Amino acid sequence: MKKRIIFLTFCTIMLLSGCQSTDQKSVLSQQSSDIQELKLAEFIGLASYNGHYEKEYTKKEDVNIFKKGFQQAETKNYDLNKYDYNLRITLSDETNRELHLTKTDNNEIVLKYIGDNPDTLVIDSKHAKNIIELIYKEAGT
């Protein structure tokens, strides 16, 4: 009887922890397969949106780099007031998602939806590597 209670307790804990880990995945990670193109503009402020896009990613190889990284994006607390870029993501249904994007000193990518949503999304350094190379190596930073 005691073994059965321990086993049921263990199963419940595993079930609950599994549910929590799936909640960490962002809407962006769920929509990443629908991404058609991405555009970058220089960041000018949290209260502002710069729509003068200097970089555009439409090649399948480039878009796939972003998709793979975004699939790993997790919602985390990250308090930033300055980002490097504004990012416009166009999905296959022609809707857009607009976010601020920056690279941290730890080579993570931090994203924040533009607007009232306070959530930040983080792509760890392992999964951000190719995005960083694509964006920042082109810019020479």
Average pLDDT, the chain: 82
When pLDDT is averaged across residues 79-101 and rounded to a whole number, the result is 92
Q: What pTM was estimated for this model as a whole?
A: 0.75
Helices H / strands E in the chain, number of each: 4, 7
Residue type, position 68, single letter: K
83-94 average pLDDT score: 93
> Strands, DSSP E only, in the chain?
35-42, 55-57, 74-76, 85-91, 96-103, 109-113, 120-123
Domains of the chain plus CATH, in order, are 25-139 (2.60.40.4400)
pLDDT, position 84: 96
pLDDT of residue 17: 45
Tens of pLDDT, residues 3-60 = 666 655 654 565 554 444 334 455 565 566 679 999 999 999 887 778 899 999 999 9
What is the reported pLDDT for 18?
46
Distance (Å, whole) CA 24 – CA 12: 19
Residue 110: partners with Cβ closer than 8 Å, 6 or more residues away: 78, 80, 83, 101, 102, 103, 104, 120, 121, 122
